[in-house]
Structure formats: C-alpha cells, structure tokens
Structure 1
Amino acid sequence: MLFRHCFLLLALLLFTGSIQAHPHVWIDLRVSPQVNEQGQITGLRQAWRFDPFYSLVLIEELEKGGPEDELDQRLDQLALEVVQNLENFDFFTQVTVAGKRQGFEPVTEYNLMQVGRRIEFSFVLPLQNPVTLQDERLQYQVYDPSYYIEILHAAGNELDTQQLPASCEVDVQEPSPPGDLVEKAMALDKDEKPEDPQLGEHFAETVNLDCRP
C-alpha cells in the first residue's frame, strides 16, 4: 500500500485471515459542481458513502469509543483526521482544464455522518482558479492510486447538474483496464504495495463536462 489511510486503521486492525485482491473498500461517489454567480465552477462537492461492511466495522468501533452522547464528537474528530490525511493527496481527485491539472484550496467544509448503517464523508473541494464553463471543458477523476479503495459514482448519480446550464453535456467514461492488470490487482494482498504507483487510475471513471457553445 502506498500509504496508510488513517481513517481505515480501525477497520484494518479488525481484519482477520488472509484477505486477497484489491480493492478492499468500496465507495459510492456523488459529485456536485459548485457554481458562482458568474457561472464559473468554483469547486466540487463530493459525498463518499462507504460500503456496508467497512461502515459496520467503523460504526462498531466508534460506538465502543465512549459514551453514546459523545458519538457526534467522535465523528467530528475522525472527520478532521480524514481531512488532514487526504489533503496531502488532493482528496484522491484530479481535475484538468484544457489539459492542465488544476490545484485546490484547503477544504474547510466537511462532515462525517452515519446514514442508516453506512458511513458517509462529504466535503467541498475548492478550485484554486474558478473555471468559466463557456470557455473550457472540465475533466475529473476520483481514485485511490493504490487501488486499495475503489471509488465509483453511485448508480444513476454520475454528476449532479442542477447548478449547471441546461446546455452542459456530461460524458462518463467507464474504466476498461486490460485483463493482465486486473489479474495483478486480484493477486495483491491487503498489505502488498502494487508495482504500479498509479494502479487505481486504470480502474477510475473519467468524467467530462462540456458547456461550450
């Protein structure tokens, strides 16, 4: 594994046996572009809903961590740790405009909550430079480079277009990794580092947003 995800440690400590094959955690992703009064995209609001098994393990650990009436405080503290960890990796997000990778401002709006029996982490990732929709096509990917976590848009929720002009077109390119790469990923143990430091990119969706006239 390229690095330790601090917000996964509780779960990993509870795993037993020899668990084979990447990925080991699954996230249902929802993305909503944030648009200002000038019609520019200023950031991406993301919601990551963790798979039921991982959520269950984490919920049980959080519930064991102290009194029930302090659960919200423990969730808030964990959310802060998640943000501090992921900011070093651009929150697993790549945004390109006209072929140039975009930078991000610090995340200040975030939340970690329990939705039913699943855990959801949500945040707004601000762009350093707002993107004028009528001038440039925007492309983004969200993926864990190590492919320890698989991050895919929730079915039917590829991109929230409510704030976007009706003329905008969204194209979601599904990943199509070669068979030999799939076999290599399937052969990786949970603690094994992949040879390709960008393995997850081959399994990532690519979303193109085009609002040009």
Structure 2
Amino acid sequence: MRIRPWFLLILGLLLPTGVFAHPHAWIDLRVGLVFNEAGELVRMEQSWRIDPTYSHMLLEDLTGQLDGDTDIDTALEHAAERMRENLAGHDYFTELSAGERDLDIPPARNARLTLEDRRLHLRFELPLADLDITAGDRFSYRVFDPEYWIEILHDPEDIVFVENRPGCAVTIDEPRPDPQLIRYAATLERQDRSPVDNLGRHFAETATLECD
C-alpha cells in the first residue's frame, strides 16, 4: 500500500507504511480573522487539532527521534517548522476568495506545534494585509485535503473568531458532495487508486464572512 505523499506532508514525519493500511484521521479546525482599525483584514489564524490516534503516533515517533540533549518542546518546535515548509507547496490546504477573486495564499508564519489533552495542535498564521480585503468584501475560505483522506471540519464547540470588527460574523455552509464522489472517496482508504483532482474540495465546508 502506497502512503499518499500529501499525508506525510501534513504529519511532517515518516512512519512505517504498514501503519496506514487502512488510514483514517480527522482534524478539528479553529479559525480567527483579524482586522486592523482601518477595517482591513490583515491576518487569518488557523489551529488544527489532530485526532488522538494520530497524535499518539506522531508523539511516539517524535520521542523516538530525541537524543539526549533534545527535549520534547524543542522537537515539537522543529516538527512545526517542517510541517509549515511542507504544506507551503499545497497552499496550507487553504483556499481564499474575495468577491469574484481567487486569492493567492501568502507564506504562513509563526507555526507552532503543541500537545494539549493528548492531542497535537498545529497553529499558524496567514498574513493577508497585502491582499486588499476589507469588511465590505464577500470573503470566503475553505480548508481541505486534496484527496479526502483527512476530514477537516470546523470545531463544533468553537466559533470563527472575528477580531476588531463588530457586526461581522462567519457563516459555514455544509458540503453537498455527489453520492458517486462519496463512494469513490470511500475506496481511497482501501485501494491504491489515483484520486480525482482536488477531490477534497467537494467535501469541504465553505466559510463566508458577513458584515452588517
């Protein structure tokens, strides 16, 4: 069974191929949108909370790589930077648009990886100040893996936080994938097949910023 390359990019670590004979993982997504005083959207903050099983696997692999002079916090710091670099080639699994414009994804910064309640949390920021997005624009985003291997959905216990812009909130539209795509995606966990381009986009939530 071949491990999907993008899956390794997310995890940032190499684990034995047999571990993922029947892969399944999910990520709880938390997002913050930060405006400046001029009403410009300047930053998008993302937090990915990895499910307990894969968090445990990653942590075991991390601790197995430690030498006598490296503590776990330092190892997590280095792993976060590797994950940021690897995900850059995939736009951090993020799609942005403003009105009719599809936006280029800027380089992420301030990547951090922490262990909280037995789950790994990857956090990073996307600087948006150069994209000329204001509160009056219809801004939307999606976060998804391209092969529908890892499920990435907004944390049901959290809201998308909008900072410095009262009257603005984010609505989240659930995906409505074609049943044939659902059946096809299900086979990807059992068979080594070439996926449909951007298959995960059909299963992604669409988040839209709306302001009074």
**Which band: TM-score by shorter chain?**
0.7 to 0.9
Q: State whether structure 2 residue 35 is matched by structure 1 residue 35.
A: yes
In 2, Cα distance between the equivalents of 1:175 and 1:90?
A: 21
Q: What one-letter code is carried by the residue in structure 1 that aligns with 2:22?
A: I
Q: State whether structure 2 residue 143 is matched by structure 1 residue 131.
A: no
Q: What one-letter code is carried by the residue in structure 2 that aligns with 1:73?
A: T
Residue 16 (structure 2) aligns with: 13
Residue 160 (structure 2) aligns with: 159
In 1, Cα distance between the equivalents of 2:182 and 2:205?
A: 15
Consecutive unaligned residues in structure 2, runs of 5 or more: none
In 1, Cα distance between the equivalents of 2:125 and 2:132?
A: 14
In 2, Cα distance between the equivalents of 1:102 and 1:15?
A: 38
Q: Is the 8 A contact 2:94 2:105 kept in 1?
A: no
Residue 99 (structure 1) aligns with: 100
Residue 90 (structure 1) aligns with: 91
- Deviation of the 1:36 alpha carbon: 1.4
Moved more, 11-20 or 198-207: 11-20
Cα distance change of structure 1 residues 17 and 153 upon mapping to structure 2, 3 Å threshold: closer
In 1, Cα distance between the equivalents of 2:52 and 2:69?
A: 21
- Deviation of the 1:164 alpha carbon: 4.6
- Deviation of the 1:194 alpha carbon: 4.0
Q: Is the 8 A contact 1:2 1:193 kept in 2?
A: no
In 2, Cα distance between the equivalents of 1:185 and 1:155?
A: 23
Question: TM-score, normalised to structure 1's length?
Answer: 0.87
Q: After TM superposition, which residue ranges in structure 1, 4 or more long, deviate above 6 angstroms? A: none
Consecutive unaligned residues in structure 1, runs of 5 or more: none
Identity percentage of aligned residues: 33
Higher relative contact order (CA 8 A, sep 6+): 1
Cα distance change of structure 1 residues 12 and 156 upon mapping to structure 2, 3 Å threshold: same
Q: Is the 8 A contact 1:7 1:78 kept in 2?
A: no
RMSD: 2.2
- Deviation of the 1:15 alpha carbon: 4.2
- Deviation of the 1:41 alpha carbon: 0.7
In 1, Cα distance between the equivalents of 2:12 and 2:80?
A: 14
- Deviation of the 1:51 alpha carbon: 0.4
Alignment of 1:74-89 (within 5 A): 74-89=75-90
In 2, Cα distance between the equivalents of 1:136 and 1:9?
A: 35
**C-alpha offsets along residues 166-192 of structure 1, whole Å, 9 cap, x if unaligned?**
322422101121222111111113673
Q: What one-letter code is carried by the residue in structure 1 that aligns with 2:41?
A: I
- Deviation of the 1:121 alpha carbon: 0.3
Q: Is the 8 A contact 2:12 2:86 kept in 1?
A: no
Q: How many residues align?
A: 207
- Deviation of the 1:77 alpha carbon: 1.1
In 1, Cα distance between the equivalents of 2:180 and 2:10?
A: 31
In 1, Cα distance between the equivalents of 2:20 and 2:50?
A: 22
In 2, Cα distance between the equivalents of 1:137 and 1:79?
A: 32
